[in-house]
Amino acid sequence: MVKVLFVCLGNICRSPMAEAIFQDLVSEKGLDDQIVIDSAGTGDYHVGKSPHEGTIQKLTDAGINSSGLVARQISEEDYLHFDYIIPMDDDNLDNIRKQIDEDSTIVVKKLLDFVPDSEVKNVPDPYFTGDFDETYELVFEACQHLLNDVKVKLEPLQEEY
């Protein structure tokens, strides 16, 4: 079992979009029983709220289910539970790294770090830019690459059975 947590600032735009897209990709590959997916924010601004209407609309337009997504703040327990913690930008990456022990085995990489030769390094926050299309395209491409990375980690686990 591999556990993946997507993280942005408020957990209403980028990280729930990534959670829903990644869940859709995982389901398409029949890996639901092998990969756990969640999202959280480094801030507590929107705890308990649904994703931004722009995120919901973009996911709906793409045929991706967004039901059940509720904003929450990242917790200390998350640093013990997840194998991957995937922030959307440098600020969230810095906040996460401050909370993790140096000897931790958690993979902590920005989402766009999984895209080879990506010129864009941070997923823009559509809460501020208003461009949910750009965010969706970047997140979708990066989630495909992330899934390839996760599948490599699953192979040794499958051989144990």
Residues designated as active site: 8, 14, 125
φ and ψ at residue 62, rounded to 5 degrees: -85, 0
Q: Report the amino acid identity of residue 114.
A: F
Helical segments of 2-161, H only: 14-28, 53-61, 78-81, 90-97, 126-129, 132-159
Check: CB of residue 93 under 8 Å from CB of residue 87.
yes
Three-class DSSP labels, 85-130: EEECCHHHHHHHHCCCCCCCCCEECCHHHHCCCCCCCCCCCHHHHC
Closest by alpha carbon to 109, among 156, 137, 149?
149
